[in-house]
């Protein structure tokens, strides 16, 4: 009887496979980097492979049940040299990059699992960087995922409503404290297009190890006219048993394409922040950083991009310059970095201190 049940299960499984549509893609990157910080020279070589499997189990009219599974395999060699020391290590890692199941219909979708949740209008300085660690220099916008239940409702006027339940994760980029792992965080967002502006309002509630609770309130606005202009802000409210504390981030940004040559794309963002205070109206905004992004297409297949950033607290500049050459299945990047060390608020989160040069090859097939 047991063998019969197993055989029947295998038959039904094989039959069901005939109805499953799948697509398998592969991402492979090779990079080498040489960087110098003070008297230490480092050499870094990294290989990263990500197989991307997309499955569609069922589809009818506007309804669909599908899944995405992306594994992440990395091999990294790092050698550090100084006058009196030489050290090297080899790291091998494997894990899941994305793993989610989704049911979608004409005007809504529900997604469960390890996924990416990000929103907002900013590019470099992002007050709404709540659940990702995207590097503005990264062309693929790679980021660690979060385990969540995410629902989205789409309206005919292009407005949309989000709702999520989140598993606490210390990798979330803008968190200052560790969070209680057995609790579930909750939040939502609404985006609404007005005649001359698109607005978004977001809120997220969680419980930390230090405070009884933490509530984040986010607002982002964007105007696309002759010059693009956007505002993004986040107010963090920390509830203690006896008092409340407040901190905030506020960013102004704009972009414009100059009609010079093939067109020079210019983007500028400026970030303000305030320290944690006990009164909502008392925190004094402090100017943190200003960044300018310039991008220019040299032709159909190659381009250059630069990010120049100034930290107003430490009074230092950071520079990034990248050349990209793209083919059908291959992209080549040559990246230069110059980022002085700063004890203050980082000019751009994730930028390493020191001088470095990097060659990266990426392919997807």
CATH code of 61's domain: 2.40.160.10
**Contact in structure between 173 and 200 (CB atoms under 8 Å):** no
User: Any bridge partners for residue 249, and if so which?
Assistant: 234, 273
Q: Looking at residues 65-89, what average pLDDT do you find?
A: 86
The pLDDT > 70 percentage for the chain reads 84
Residues 6 or more apart in contact with residue 17 via CB below 8 angstroms = none
Closest C-alpha among 155, 82, 79, 148 to residue 118? 148
* pTM for this predicted structure: 0.85
Closest C-alpha among 47, 53, 101, 54 to residue 76? 47
**Contact in structure between 221 and 230 (CB atoms under 8 Å):** yes
Q: Tell me, yes or no, whether 12 lies in a domain.
A: no
- Mean pLDDT is lowest, of 54-63, 221-230, 240-249, for 240-249
pLDDT given for residue 172 in this prediction: 59
**Contact in structure between 26 and 51 (CB atoms under 8 Å):** yes
Residue 142's φ and ψ, nearest 5 degrees, are -70, 145
Q: Tell me, yes or no, whether 8 lies in a domain.
A: no
Question: 76 lies in which domain range?
Answer: 29-364
Per the model's pLDDT, the better-predicted residue between 147 and 22 turns out to be 147
What's the token pair of residue 184? 């579930």
Q: Tell me, yes or no, whether 11 lies in a domain.
A: no
Whether the per-residue pLDDT at 202 is higher than 70: the answer is: yes
Whether the per-residue pLDDT at 135 is higher than 60: the answer is: yes
d(CA 313, CA 292): 17
The number of domains in the chain is 1
Residue 140's φ and ψ, nearest 5 degrees, are -90, -5
Residue 168's φ and ψ, nearest 5 degrees, are -55, 140
pLDDT given for residue 150 in this prediction: 97
Residue with tokens 């006219």: 225
Q: Tell me, yes or no, whether 23 lies in a domain.
A: no
Strand, coil or helix: what is 341? coil
Whether the per-residue pLDDT at 345 is higher than 50: the answer is: no
What's the token pair of residue 221? 């606005």
pLDDT given for residue 174 in this prediction: 59
pLDDT band, very low/low/confident/very high, at 347 (cuts 50, 70, 90):
very low
Q: Tell me, yes or no, whether 1 lies in a domain.
A: no
Which sign, positive or negative, has the C-alpha torsion 203, 135, 320, 78?
positive
Cα 331 to chain centroid distance, Å, stands at: 21
Mean per-residue pLDDT of the chain: 85
d(CA 124, CA 312): 16
Instruction: Please give the sequence-ordered ranges of beta strands (E in DSSP) within the chain, or none if there are none.
Output: 21-37, 40-60, 63-81, 86-104, 108-115, 146-154, 160-166, 185-193, 198-206, 213-224, 228-239, 244-258, 264-277, 286-297, 302-311, 316-326, 331-339, 354-364
Q: Tell me, yes or no, whether 10 lies in a domain.
A: no
Residue with tokens 């002759």: 226
Whether the per-residue pLDDT at 343 is higher than 70: the answer is: no
Whether the per-residue pLDDT at 84 is higher than 80: the answer is: no
Q: Tell me, yes or no, whether 66 lies in a domain.
A: yes
What's the token pair of residue 76? 């990294």
pLDDT in tens, 314-329: 788 889 999 999 998 9
Strand, coil or helix: what is 85? coil
**Contact in structure between 30 and 62 (CB atoms under 8 Å):** no
């Amino acid at each position: 009887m047991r063998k019969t049940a197993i055989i029947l299960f295998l038959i039904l499984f094989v039959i069901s496979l005939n109805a499953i549509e799948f697509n398998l893609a592969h991402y492979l990157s090779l990079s080498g980097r040489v960087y110098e910080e003070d008297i230490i020279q480092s050499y870094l070589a990294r290989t990263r492979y990500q197989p991307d499997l997309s499955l569609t189990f069922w589809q009818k009219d506007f309804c669909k049940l599908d899944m995405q599974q992306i594994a992440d395999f990395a091999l990294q060699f790092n050698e550090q040299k100084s006058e009196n020391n030489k050290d090297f290590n080899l790291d091998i890692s494997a894990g899941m990059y994305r793993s989610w199941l989704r049911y979608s219909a004409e005007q809504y979708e529900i997604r469960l699992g390890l996924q990416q949740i990000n929103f907002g209008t900013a590019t470099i300085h992002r007050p709404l960087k709540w659940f990702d660690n995207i590097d503005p220099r990264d062309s693929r916008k790679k980021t660690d995922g979060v385990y969540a239940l995410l629902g989205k409702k789409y309206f005919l006027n292009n407005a949309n409503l989000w709702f999520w339940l989140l598993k606490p994760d210390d990798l979330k980029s803008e968190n200052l404290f560790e969070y209680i792992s057995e609790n579930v965080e909750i939040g939502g967002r609404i985006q609404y297009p007005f005649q001359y502006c698109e607005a978004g309002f977001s809120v997220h509630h969680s419980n930390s190890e230090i405070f009884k609770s933490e509530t984040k309130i986010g607002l982002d606005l964007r105007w696309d006219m002759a010059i693009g202009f956007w505002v993004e802000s986040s107010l963090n409210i920390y509830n203690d048993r006896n008092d409340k504390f407040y901190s905030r981030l506020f960013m102004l940004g704009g972009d414009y394409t100059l009609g010079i040559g093939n067109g020079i794309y210019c983007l500028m963002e400026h970030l303000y922040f305030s320290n944690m205070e006990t009164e909502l109206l008392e925190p004094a905004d402090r100017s943190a950083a200003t960044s300018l992004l310039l991008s220019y297409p040299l032709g159909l297949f190659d381009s250059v991009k630069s990010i120049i950033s100034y930290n107003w607290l430490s009074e230092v500049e950071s520079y990034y310059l990248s050349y990209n050459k793209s083919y059908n299945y291959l992209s080549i990047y040559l990246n230069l970095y110059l980022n002085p060390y700063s004890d203050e608020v980082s000019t751009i989160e994730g930028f390493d201190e020191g001088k470095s040069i990097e060659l990266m090859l990426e392919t997807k097939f």
